[in-house]
Amino acid sequence: MIEIAGAALGWVIPAVVVFGASALLIVVTVWAVRRARAGAGARARAEDERNRAGTTLVELDDAVADLDLEVGLSGALYGGDGAAPLRRARMRAQHARDRAFDDYRRAADPATPVPEARRIAHRVREQAQRALTAVQSARRAHASWVAAHASAADQLAAVEQRWHELHDRIGDPRALLRELQRRVDPDESRDVADAAAAIEHCISESRRQIDAARSLVADPSHTALPAIAAAERALRAAEDAERRLEESHRLVMQAAEAFAGEIDSAREAIRGALGLREGVAGEQAEALAREIRAADEELSRISSNGARRPVAAVDAVARLRTRLDLALGDARTAQQRMRGARTALPGALASARASLARAEADLAASGAGAQARVRVADARDALAHARTVGDPVEALDAARQALRHADDARALCAYARLGRPGGGSAPGRSPR
């Protein structure tokens, strides 16, 4: 009997262990699948909340930009008497927008836990919506004030005077473009060409609105104020385009002057890297040798056509220096890093400025969302830090960070254009 019981136990116990382990495995698997589904669902809900927050935040950002323009219009057209409440509303909306963008960064940060990211995004959406409602209320109140106090005839005379002043000051916006086209390839002068075309369009549109307003001033059954405001808005857009034209022209000319020096500085950096290679061994030495050869070949290619494409050349040299610094790693002393940073900084700053200018233009043309606007704002902040910090190594890191942010913004803008039916342009602005 004892032997039979022992035999039975010898069969039952392994069976219980096997079936128990199987049952436990099934329970654990079901729990893991449910948790994964719940986690995926939580992430999806958080992403949806972030998207909705970003949409509302973009609306607020655009509304603040429109409000800023309206404050300027009120000062230019109506003497500014009715703009004080509008200015206060603009200040409050700007503060609310900037806080919301800071919170949005945290909500979009992968390091933020999913539940917290969802709560932050929900709060951003509510705050942005309240600020948007306040902006719309302030604009309606100001429109009522304008309708009650503004004289169309006087405002038409003021905006027409501004048109003549701006037209005479700008002169021929294509003069700078023709100068560049004699010196550089078309790609290098593209931003100047776009700005010149924008100036011509805005000046023409403002003239058209002024003429339309003149025909309405004498008719008591119609109001000329909307046409007058549209004329002033077009003039301000022309002034913005004039600034873009001058800045784009300056970037090309500065790059043309700096190109030869950047090439010489990069050659010196390559020679320095060759000297440092003697002090490393093994795989690091082989990797460094490959990077030095690639940098030397790339620099030869840049030198061959850099005179006609100076902005692209300075940018390529700055990126080449970044890759070379990464390959050198810890092979340099602190003094060598400092010396290298001093020589690399001017090119890195020029590259970051040019990339940021194009990111801002891409943002205006693409209508990209909150992420692109955040990247543009981050690039501005990093570039400002690079210009003001005293340590060359820290300044170089900040300039390269600005370049990365600007590159990210341009990629997001390109994605936004691809995602829009027809791939056309749409208005867009960036925070701060």
The pTM of the full predicted model, rounded to 2 decimals, is 0.77
Q: What is the DSSP letter of 150?
A: -
Residues 6+ apart with CB under 8 A from 210: 156, 159, 160, 163, 227, 228, 231
Phi-psi domain of 385 (left: phi exceeds 0; alpha: psi -120 through 50; beta: other): alpha
Please report where in the chains the tokens 């219009």 appear, as a residue.
73
29 CB-contact burial (10 Å; exposed 0-12 / middle 13-18 / buried 19+): exposed
Q: What pLDDT was estimated at residue 217?
A: 80
Q: Which residues of the chain have pLDDT under 50?
A: 33, 36-38, 421-429
Give the CA radius of gyration of the chain. Answer: 30
As given in the structure block, the two tokens for residue 425 are: 């342009």
Q: What local confidence, expressed as pLDDT, does residue 328 receive?
A: 81
CB 90 within 8 A of CB 67: yes
User: Phi, psi (5° rounding) for residue 185?
Assistant: -70, 160
How distant, in Å, are the alpha carbons of 216, 258, 272, 337 from that of 391? 61, 22, 21, 11
Pair 363, 379: CB distance under 8 Å: no
- Judge contact between 114 and 46, C-beta under 8 A: yes
DSSP line for 214-276: HHHHT-TTS--HHHHHHHHHHHHHHHHHHHHHHHHHHHHHHHHHHHHHHHHHHHHHHHHHHHH
Confidence at residue 378, expressed as pLDDT on a 0 to 100 scale: 92
Cα of 161 vs its chain's centroid, Å? 36
